[in-house]
Structure 1
Amino acid sequence: MAPPNVTIELIQKPTEPLAEEAVQLFASLVVGDPCMMALTGGDWSILPDLGRVLVYSLSSCPGVSHMFTARDETGALVGFTLFSLPGEPILPTQEKGRVSAYISKLSPEGRQYFAETMGKEVPQSSDEMFGIEGAERNAYWCSLAMVRADYQGRGVAKAMFELAYKEAAKTGAAVALTTTNIRNVPIYEKIGLKLYGERTFSSQWVEWTLGYFARDWGTGSHNVNIVNEGSQCTSTIMSH
Structure 2
Amino acid sequence: MAPSNVTIEFVEQPTESLTEECVAVFSSVMGADPCSIALTGGDLSLIPSLGRTIARSIALCPGVGHLYIARDDAGDLIGFTLFTLPGQLMGSTKEQQVAGKINEYLATLSPEGQAYFAEAMAKDVPKANDEMIGIKDTERETYWCNMAMVHKDYQGKGVAKAMFQLAFKEAAKTGATMALTTTNIINVPIYEKIGFKYHGEKTMPSPWLDWKMWFFSRDTQSEK
TM range (shorter): over 0.9
Distance apart, 1:63 and its partner CA: 1.8
Q: What is the TM-score with the length of structure 1 in the denominator? A: 0.88
User: Match for residue 170 of structure 2?
Assistant: 167
- Cα deviation for residue 61 of structure 1 reads 1.4
Counterpart pick for 2:160 among 153, 157, 160: 157
Cα distance per residue 1:118-159 (max 9 Å; x no partner): 111100111111222111101100000000111100000000
* CA–CA separation in structure 1 for the residues paired with 2:96 and 2:121: 20
**C-alpha distance in structure 1 between counterparts of 2:85 and 2:72, whole Å:** 27
1:81 is displaced (CA, Å) by: 0.3
* 8 A Cα contact 1:56 1:95, kept in partner: no
Q: Would you say the 8 A contact 1:41–1:107 is kept in 2?
A: yes
The Cα of 1:202 is off from its aligned counterpart by 0.7
Paired residue for 1:6? 6
Instruction: For residues 31-74 of structure 1, give each alpha carbon's deviation from its aligned partner in whole angstroms, at most 9, with x where no partner exists.
Output: 11111110001101111111111110111112221000000111
**Matching residue of 2:42:** 42
What's the counterpart of residue 230 of structure 1? Answer: none
Q: 1:94 to 1:54 in 2, by over 3 A?
A: closer
What does residue 54 of structure 2 align with? Answer: 54
Instruction: For 1:89-238, list aligned pairs within 5 A.
Output: 89=89, 91-93=93-95, 95-96=97-98, 98-216=101-219
What is the one-letter code of the residue matched to 2:77? L
Flag the 1:67–1:94 CA change in 2: closer, same or farther, 3 A. closer
CA contact (8 A) 2:3 2:157 kept: yes
Measured on the aligned residues, the alpha-carbon RMSD in Å equals: 1.3
Q: Deviations over 1:183-240 (max 9, x none)?
A: 10011111111111111011110000000011117x6xxxxxxxxxxxxxxxxxxxxx
**Residue 167 of structure 1: CA displacement?**
0.3
Question: For structure 2, which runs of at least 5 residues remain unmatched after alignment?
Answer: none
Higher helix share: 2
Instruction: Give the residue type in structure 2 aligned to 1:197.
Output: G
Structure 1 unpaired stretches of 5+: 220-240
Number of residue pairs matched by the alignment: 218
CA-CA distance at 1:93 after TM superposition: 3.5
1-side partners of 2:219 and 2:88: how far apart? 21
Q: Could you say what secondary structure the match of 1:200 adopts?
A: strand
Which amino acid in structure 2 is aligned with residue 50 of structure 1? L
CA contact (8 A) 1:57 1:91 kept: no
